[in-house]
A and B are shown apart, each in its own frame.
Chain A
Amino acid sequence: MFITTLLNALPGVVAQGLIWSIMAIGVYITYKILDVADLTVDGTMCTGGAVFIMLVTGGWNPWAAMVAAFLSGMAAGLVTGLLHTACGIPAILAGILTQLALYSVNLRIMGQSNRPISVDKYPLLVSARNVREAALSNPILVCVLFTAATIGALYWFFGTEQGCAVRATGANPNMARAQGINTNFTTVLGLMLSNGLVALSAALLAQYQGFADVNSGRGAIVIGLAAVIIGEVLFSKVFRNFALKLLAVVFGSLIYYLVYQVVILLGLKSDDMKLITALIVALFLAVPYWKGRYFAKRTGRAGKGAGSHA
């Protein structure tokens, strides 16, 4: 019984996991590459959907609306980036400020706290309704394409001169500046790219579930982190290539939603999931620290060098 219900729910799990994986890849850019914890995404995860729905219901082509959603996310990233670099506000606080401001902005965009959109009336790219159909309209297909395109584009970008400059900024800002890299610019660029992807994911999610809600981004950063960390813990030994590392994030996101589904089927409410997600992330972050602290071999000074590039 349990297994059949789970199998029944599996297509939905995959679709949701794929949609959120684009968001998680955005988080990966800031958290892993730029070494910044960017909390803007909780706001952007609504903005993208809000922008998309308002434009499409206003008569826009959904593809154009996707582009607009991506740009709206980039704008949010730009604000956080400028608060951080031009105004000297610590990155975490800059993100919190933008996130808070976005709550009002999102309400302004939507005019109300929740906006529905129907797949019957508008040519949406994905919809939960078709998730069990073996047809081209199945959202899983579109989501796979979006995820693959995202990974491909980022693999290309982070191999370019400018992409390498962004990576160097996260790896060692002193070295980056010594090599003539404007680290303020690269930080802003990374934040814009990240939030653009988050907004893109949000636009897909809004279509998939058929609405955008002002609260739909709450805790998004933690879900994104969960995907990044689960992917890293489970696949970092096998996946070394950059594209594969991004794929690990996608797997992390899929696993997260699988666990989510299992927990729901076991009788917990979806309202409990935020608590469980927070616990999972806390645990996955704490375990490597405990390992390093209590189980490391005593190597004296050698540990200094080994620890500094963690």
Chain B
Amino acid sequence: MLELKNIYKTFNPGTVNEKRALQGLSLSLADGDFVTVIGGNGAGKSTMLNIISGAYTVDEGSISIGGVDVTRLPEYKRAPYIGRVFQDPMMGTAATMQIEENLALAARRGQRRGLRTGISRAEREQYRELLKILDLGLEDRLTSKVGLLSGGQRQALTLLMATLKKPQLLLLDEHTAALDPKTAAKVLSATEQIVRRDNLTTLMITHNMRDAIAHGNRLVMLYDGRVVVDVRGEEKRRLTVEDLLEKFNQASGSTEADDKLLLS
């Protein structure tokens, strides 16, 4: 489904701020894989998601989604394949537009936008039903401006928008990190529910090791811009936080557990 081959990405090359974010990253996802991604700050997690979505271009390497080489495609042309939820709740929605308008924009992801009406009556009913699933009372506020919603509500809405038109690949960039624990749990369980229902191929970055272990069928750890741990199936199911730390120490060659990784 997703194929990342030998990807290199360096920010500010040749300056004092040079940062080698990805150094020969390769990763291959099968159809229906739900992969959780962990790694310390600067390991390249967000950069990986951003090069997949096209927000950044790669220096070297290739990216293909569902057999289509997207390496040179701009961000908006990759959007038909990809649903995204960002870390910042403000990023995924348009604050000055109504809830239903945001959903209508998402419903047309990957379609040519012409001069037909931006939102039809039939759609409104459909959105009302879909919003009920979130259980946040948003179904009665279709014409409210999104800017009036809380961070958790906006994140849940973004999740709904990302999956409204079934994406080939769902990218979640620490999408619960900015939320309070209770809301985070709610959004995470909605995520689990939607990913299972549509059998979505998913990449989920998280800072929380327990979440990384509890969700998905596969776990990947990045270090220094490369995949250093890749656990799946039965091994993933039996994984504990201690195992993960052990694996991290082996991979990074350090004996002290990196406290940045332990932030959770």
The answer to whether the Cβ of B147 comes within 8 Å of any Cβ in the partner chain is yes
Stretch of A46-54, A180-188, A231-239 contacting B (4+ beta carbons < 8 Å): A180-188
- Residues of chain B from 92 to 149 with CB closer than 8 A to chain A in the complex: 92-97, 101, 104-106, 108-111, 113-119, 145, 147
The answer to whether the Cβ of A92 comes within 8 Å of any Cβ in the partner chain is no
Contact A179 B95, beta carbon cutoff 8 Å: no
Contact A180 B76, beta carbon cutoff 8 Å: yes
Contact B95 A180, beta carbon cutoff 8 Å: no
Can you name the residue of chain A whose Cβ is closest to the Cβ of B106? A179
Among A168, A172, A176, A305, contact of B150 (Cβ-Cβ < 8 Å): A305
Which secondary structure characterizes the binding site on chain B? Answer: loop
Contact A162 B114, beta carbon cutoff 8 Å: yes
The 8 A CB mask of A136-162 against B (1 = contact, 0 = none) is 000000000000000000000101111
Contact B113 A162, beta carbon cutoff 8 Å: yes
- Residues of chain B from 47 to 85 with CB closer than 8 A to chain A in the complex: 53, 55, 74-77, 79-80, 82, 84
Distance in angstroms between the alpha carbons of A159 and B114 in the assembled complex? 11
The 8 A CB mask of A169-200 against B (1 = contact, 0 = none) is 00110111111111100000000000000000
The answer to whether the Cβ of A164 comes within 8 Å of any Cβ in the partner chain is yes
Q: B156 to nearest A CB, angstroms? A: 15
Given known A179-B79, A309-B95, contact A168–B105 (CB-CB < 8 A) = yes
Q: A167 to nearest B CB, angstroms? A: 6
Contact B93 A175, beta carbon cutoff 8 Å: yes
Given known A172-B91, A174-B86, A179-B161, contact A165–B79 (CB-CB < 8 A) = no
* CB neighbours of A172 from chain B (8 A): 90-91, 93-95
The answer to whether the Cβ of B151 comes within 8 Å of any Cβ in the partner chain is yes
Given known A168-B105, A174-B86, A180-B79, contact A160–B118 (CB-CB < 8 A) = yes
Interface footprint category on B: 35 or more
Q: List 28 A-B contacts (CB under 8 A).
A: A160-B114, A160-B115, A161-B113, A161-B114, A161-B116, A161-B117, A162-B114, A163-B118, A164-B97, A164-B104, A164-B113, A167-B97, A168-B105, A174-B55, A174-B91, A175-B91, A176-B76, A177-B55, A177-B79, A178-B92, A179-B105, A179-B161, A180-B109, A183-B76, A305-B150, A309-B90, A309-B96, A309-B147
Seen from chain A, the residues whose Cβ lies within 8 Å of a Cβ on chain B are 157, 159-165, 167-168, 171-172, 174-183, 305, 308-309
Q: Which 10 A-B pairs have the closest CB atoms?
A: A180-B79, A309-B147, A309-B95, A171-B94, A164-B118, A161-B113, A172-B94, A177-B75, A160-B115, A180-B109
